[in-house]
Amino acid sequence: MRHPLPLDPQFYVTVPQPCPYLAGRIERKLFVALHGNHASVLNDSLSRQGFRRSQNILYRPSCADCRACLSARIRVADFEPRRRHRRVMRKNTDLRRTTTSPWATEDQFDLFRRYLEVRHADGDMADMDIFEFAAMIEETPVRSQLVEYTRPATTGREKLTAVSLTDVLEDGLSMVYSFFEPTMADRSLGTWVILDHIELAREAGLPYVYLGYWIPGSPKMGYKASFGALEIFCAGTWQRLENPKAFCPDTHPPADNRLPEQVMVISLPDISAQG
């Protein structure tokens, strides 16, 4: 189906399949390809409307009977670390951050495999080989960076400890995919990477850090609600998440579940204004 606005991408929907996050539910995604000179403009615009990037596509949940997946972002200016966040910061003061272009390495892939084996052994990425991993990291038509965290080693070079593939948006940093050393659970490395991205966004003067989808009831995704100053994209607008435990996604369905109507309400940028 086509969208009759100045930028005219084609939207598609995936076939229904079992949800990887909530047992007994079926997922379906609305997606569009990212390509050409205006990929970054489209990525900026749709990220503000709850879409996420994976390589050269943008997608958003479009499930027929479930509203649980909600795009989440942190308001950088309003974020104040809690006591547990300060503990995580103290535990990771020895980590060194390096920001590079998105280029895959064997060290990254080895860390990625260890992470999946412990954290997501039954996930859809479990069978990824090094070539698929390289595609995930390197196939980006937008402004992306790889943020690596290393720790000192007793002998030889520093040890790669955590990695985040991050898009630089007009209004924030979007954490596309992160992974870390799974044997260092006491360091809470997943939390640390988010905290450091909040600092990165603050240094760059960017107002938001996009975290992907918060899914109430999912142990894999529920941790995102532990961060204050959180907003969720719900019913076509960003809303402050004041009390995550009291939030019920079933009371906030999209305005229309029919696909043509979903596409028609998506706001697309006017590329003629981009110069």
Beta strands in the chain (DSSP E): 11-13, 17-18, 26-27, 29-33, 52-54, 57-61, 70-75, 96-100, 144-151, 159-168, 172-180, 208-214, 230-234, 237-240
Q: Pick the more confident residue, 259 or 104.
A: 104
Mean pLDDT of all residues in 202-228: 89
- Confidence band of 89 (pLDDT split at 50, 70, 90): very high
Mean pLDDT of all residues in 160-183: 97
- pTM of structure: 0.90
Mean pLDDT of all residues in 139-154: 93
| 49-81: pLDDT as tens digits | 999 999 999 999 888 888 888 999 999 999 999
CATH topology of domain 72-247: Aminopeptidase (3.40.630)
Domain with CATH 3.40.630.30 in the chain: 72-247
State the pLDDT at residue 19: 87
Inform me whether the pLDDT recorded for 2 exceeds 70. no
- Which amino acid is it at 191? T
State the pLDDT at residue 30: 92
Which strand (E) or helix (H) includes residue 47? helix 39-47
Q: Alpha helices of 92-245 — where are they, by DSSP H?
A: 106-119, 130-138, 189-204
Q: Pick the more confident residue, 220 or 95.
A: 95
Inform me whether the pLDDT recorded for 130 exceeds 90. yes
